[in-house]
Structure 1
Amino acid sequence: MITLTLVFLATLALGVPIAFTMGMASAAVIWKEDLADLLVVPQQVFAGLDSFPLLAIPFFILSAELMTGGRLTDTLLRFAAACVGRARGGLGHTNIITLTLFSGLSGSALADAAGPGAVIQRMMKEGGYSGAYGAALTAATAIVGPIIPPSIIMVVYALTDNSVSVNGLFIAGVVPGLLISAALLGVNHWISVKRGYRGVDSRPPFREFVSLSISAIPALLLPVIIIGGIHGGVFTPTEASAVAVFYALVCGLFFYRSLALSALPGILVRSCVMTAAVMLIIATSNSFGYVLTVLQVPQAVGEWIGTLGLSAIGFLLVVNIFLLLFGIFIEPLPGVMILVPILAPLAASMGIDPMHFAIVVIVNLTLGMITPPVGGLLFVTQVVSGESMGRIVKELWPFLAAQIAILLLLTLVPGLSVWLPHAMGYAK
């Protein structure tokens, strides 16, 4: 265990990508401790990818790229601005609403921040908002991407923990995602009142508002089709991801007529690169998990937690603190692959609803993407804004505090996460 920890931390500190960090740490332990033949590493890497449901990941990534390539961002942006643009802090509200709507298409926080988030940041700066404030708000809002369905992290979580289903997690993420967006709207309003950030001067005519609403409907229907189709038994989650690609292609080519055929090769290349990065993490985390199992780490952690005599709530609070610290250094996807096999059985043994625990873990690890100093979303928004990291982090704290408050609420009130999926038949 010491070798595993040292190699993992050392390679991570040297800036080695997390996928290679897990693979190197696994190989080092297997070789030093003579746990098995080193051939077990490539075998475990292959086994980590030998799963049909994993096909959902490249399809969801491709559907998001098709929607972005079809300039769907412009449609959602105009629709959000028409809804909330005139309110105090209207451009900030437009930022939050647009990214919340787009999260139902992408499933990726980084895609939201780099795509529509970059456009809205520039608009906010031109509208008189601080560049650092726009960057902080965009980063804080982008974390809704992996929480509101479809979500790549939820697909991986369901493959890691068989006690929850992909569609159950998709439905469970709706209310928490909307709560986070609502909290951010409140913080943005409070700050806008203090600083005098105003909304747009004019409201669109009623006929224009109706036209914008109608044009946004096809895009907004995508998550409804995905969840409704899976829930109704029309298709599986994997098949749903393929349907999403077809739907995005039809919308871009025929409905919005903004997706050029010449753009498709570039979209496919970007999707392949993103898919390769995600799949490599999943593959090497399987070998990492194999080593943890052979070293009986889950059993050791379970025995140690058992000696603490924690209640279910006490356990969740301890897990929250641990994950918030863990998320500072590790991205959500490898965090799920490493920690869920250890923590989920412990939560189940304490009578905690698996779906409730899954949402707590996913929200918590996603917050790590905006937790300094390593938060990936902060670097994306910094590049767009050109602001210093120190100024962005200073503006971030009120939003991060609101999100941690929502996380605590989700922890203490399980019904916020599980009521909707249980009502739809996804009980534990």
Structure 2
Amino acid sequence: MALILLLFIFLLVFGTPIVFSLGVAASFTLVAYDVPLALVAQKIYGGLDKFTIMAIPFFILTGIIMEKGGIAKRIIDFATALVGWITGSLYLVAVVAGTGLAAISGSGSADTAAMSSIMLPQMKKRNYNIDFSAAIMACSGSLGTIIPPSIMMVVLATISNQSVGALFLAGIIPGLICALFLLISGYLRAKTNVSESKDYHKFSTIYLLKTFFSAIPALTLPVIIVGGIVGGIFTPTEAASVAVITGLFISLFIYKEIKFKDLPQIILRAATIASTVMLIIATANIFSWFIASQQIPQKISEFMLGFSDSKLWFLMNVNILLILIGMFMESISAILILVPVLMPVAIAFGVDPLHFGLIIILNLSIGMVTPPYGITLFVASSIAERSIVDVSKKLLIPLTLMFIVLFLATYFPQISLYLPSTILGYK
């Protein structure tokens, strides 16, 4: 185990892409243990030979269609009509829009890019603090990993043999609480700044109804995706493919913001992103298999239980570990490496696996916002044309509130388990 970890860290430190770091470290270690090389190819294939994994490229494509096809714009317009008249209006619009987009794309970075490109120019014009604006964008974008559908949830559920629908439901209440806390942070910030406290527009019932009816086609997407999976109508893969077809129909024939000539470029971009994710999953499967074959989770369980059998002690240490890893490692890679190790340990401590899965998702979503390598922080800072250091200084209040949500979800399991148990009868 020490060999594979040292080699993996060594390759990462010298800038090797994570997919090659995982593959080379795992393959080299297998050779050192006299494992047949044919097994490497078998495990790579086995990592992708799962029907649920096929949902990932479709969710990525849905996110790009949402961004390019006017779907994101309609949701932001509706959010503007809904809360744009309240103090700190544009901060609130960002959070409400982020919540809506999170229910469509499944990707925090896609949501952040879509929102930031539309809203940050407006915020600059109205003299909003651009660093805090980018910070709110980054935090709101991270909701895409908590509120279903979520690509991270699909990956986690697949490798831990859990129900994708149940995990989706587990993320709804924590995600909405997180959105509420971000709304509060934006409101309080605007209260102390005169230029930001002015409303973006006066409340108008006509404008609200106009934007609502315009957004109805876009708002059907989360109903199709989440409702179809939870209701047992679709598998996650089928729901993702239906979302692509629906999104294309809306963008091509209703909003008419995508032309048929744009489709090859959109598909190529989705394929490029998806191929990177799928390669990471494939190579991480070698890593996971080796860990399981060496009984690493069992050894860690025995070691930790030797210190304490307290569930609260275990969860506190896991949160610290995941936050640190989330700051430096891409989220899907972290899930693929850590879940096979930590999930059996969590079960040994009596932690519900669905609850633990949601804790992992929450930690890594916070990691997407924290410097130095938070992906949504990087996207928002780039579009705002501000340094990550400047934006990070404005993260204190939003991140503190997200940590409070993590604390509540960690130590009050019913926050995440209520909907799965009520709707699906999960026990």
TM-score, reference length from structure 1: 0.96
- Structure 1 runs not aligned, ≥5 long: none
Partner of 1:273: 272
Q: 1:356 to 1:75 in 2, by over 3 A?
A: same
Q: 1:202 to 1:159 in 2, by over 3 A?
A: closer
Partner of 1:288: 287
TM-superposed deviation, 1:201: 4.7
Partner of 2:311: 312
User: Which shows bigger deviation, 208-217 or 408-417?
Assistant: 208-217
Q: Is 1:10 paired with 2:10?
A: yes
Residues 3-402 of structure 1: pairs in structure 2 closer than 5 A = 3-31=3-31, 33-162=32-161, 164-196=162-194, 197-203=196-202, 205-402=204-401
Distance in 1, matches of 2:86 and 2:106, equals 28
Distance in 1, matches of 2:387 and 2:272, equals 28
Partner of 2:402: 403
Distance in 2, matches of 1:388 and 1:339, equals 31
TM-superposed deviation, 1:265: 1.1
- List, as ranges, runs of 4+ consecutive aligned residues in structure 1 with deviation greater than 6 Å: none
Distance in 2, matches of 1:211 and 1:95, equals 19
TM-superposed deviation, 1:202: 2.8
Is contact 2:292–2:340 with CA below 8 Å preserved after alignment? no
SS at match of 2:197: coil
Is contact 1:288–1:338 with CA below 8 Å preserved after alignment? yes
Q: Which amino acid aligns with 1:102?
A: L
Distance in 2, matches of 1:29 and 1:303, equals 24
Is contact 1:136–1:381 with CA below 8 Å preserved after alignment? yes
Q: Which amino acid aligns with 1:39?
A: A
SS at match of 2:60: helix
TM-superposed deviation, 1:254: 2.3
Distance in 1, matches of 2:124 and 2:89, equals 13
Q: Which amino acid aligns with 1:325?
A: L
TM-superposed deviation, 1:333: 0.6
Distance in 1, matches of 2:260 and 2:425, equals 40
TM-superposed deviation, 1:215: 1.5
SS at match of 2:199: coil
Is contact 2:371–2:388 with CA below 8 Å preserved after alignment? no
Is contact 1:99–1:117 with CA below 8 Å preserved after alignment? no
Is contact 1:153–1:333 with CA below 8 Å preserved after alignment? yes
SS at match of 1:258: coil
TM-superposed deviation, 1:426: 4.5
User: Which shows bigger deviation, 195-204 or 228-237?
Assistant: 195-204
Distance in 1, matches of 2:328 and 2:299, equals 23
Q: Which amino acid aligns with 1:321?
A: I
Q: Which amino acid aligns with 2:55?
A: A
SS at match of 1:173: helix
TM-superposed deviation, 1:420: 0.7
Distance in 1, matches of 2:318 and 2:375, equals 22
Q: Which amino acid aligns with 1:167?
A: G
TM-superposed deviation, 1:38: 2.8
Name the % identity: 38
TM-superposed deviation, 1:367: 1.1
Task: Give CA-to-partner distance per residue, 1:300-322, whole Å, 9 cap, x none.
Answer: 21111111123222211111111
Q: Which amino acid aligns with 1:357?
A: F
Q: 1:76 to 1:148 in 2, by over 3 A?
A: same
TM-superposed deviation, 1:63: 1.7
Is contact 1:91–1:199 with CA below 8 Å preserved after alignment? no
SS at match of 2:43: helix
TM-superposed deviation, 1:37: 2.2
Task: Give CA-to-partner distance per residue, 1:205-233, whole Å, 9 cap, x none.
Answer: 32222111111122122112222222333
TM-score, reference length from structure 2: 0.96
SS at match of 1:370: coil
Distance in 2, matches of 1:380 and 1:232, equals 34
- RMSD of equivalent CA atoms: 1.5
TM-superposed deviation, 1:411: 0.6
Q: Which amino acid aligns with 1:226?
A: I
Distance in 2, matches of 1:199 and 1:40, equals 63
Q: Which amino acid aligns with 1:21?
A: S
Distance in 2, matches of 1:266 and 1:103, equals 23
TM-superposed deviation, 1:204: 5.2
TM-superposed deviation, 1:137: 1.2
Q: Which amino acid aligns with 1:276?
A: S
TM-superposed deviation, 1:57: 0.8
Q: Which amino acid aligns with 1:185?
A: L
Task: Give CA-to-partner distance per residue, 1:159-184, whole Å, 9 cap, x none.
Answer: 1111x200111111111111111111
Is contact 1:85–1:199 with CA below 8 Å preserved after alignment? no
Q: Which amino acid aligns with 2:10?
A: A
Q: 1:342 to 1:276 in 2, by over 3 A?
A: same
Number of residue equivalences: 426
